[in-house]
Structure 1
């Protein structure tokens, strides 16, 4: 999968919590080399609740489920993500423990942006890094509002 396909998936995802970065094609071409592509088998964990990791992922192909361990029966699954979705975005804001686990429902491909690479991008293209962080923060805020409206706990 080529990075342009991911950009198209991000730009066409129509969900309340879509990653809506104000970036043009040239901006995405600049950002692309900072991401790494990873294939994941169905059933594999991408993120494990409680781990610490400063990586944000974009789903290029497949589907992922977000879930928490513990809690009352039936309250574990939080979301199913489609291509173009971002996941793990809180990891770029700090070194805290992951709040949920993320598992591949189908064979999937993700693009990872690790904290050190984002910091490198910030040194070279501060405006682009700031826009990625702004859009990731907007996703987090939308998800927090949705969790509060559904009376779901969040840490």
Structure 2
């Protein structure tokens, strides 16, 4: 046996031990790299989400200021309550139009309902009926009425 190898370990056993050790180290490095990359991506996405939330809040306040300005402009020639009512009605119309624009942006196969409407007659896939068919007669009663699950 060549010098430098422990007793009972030949050259191939030593290489196998090195190979396992190398695979474990590579797996550990890969895990750490993936973990660091995911952490960095989530940090970027979190920052982006916070910026979107802040812009939405700012837009909400800007919209409130515009509505207030419109109400105050109307209040010059009308009573305050009438100006507020007209402003609220205009905001309702805008909200309804935006909702309609959002619904028209949906995929044409996506099921949607109009207020007071019903479910679509055929499923979006066009493969048949939207629900399983109902049997014409009720199912038969069990053959053994004394079964433990059937109590009178």
Is the strand fraction higher in 1 or 2?
1
Question: What is the TM-score normalised by the length of structure 1?
Answer: 0.24
In terms of Rg, which structure is larger?
2
Is the helix fraction higher in 1 or 2?
2
Higher relative contact order (CA 8 A, sep 6+): 1
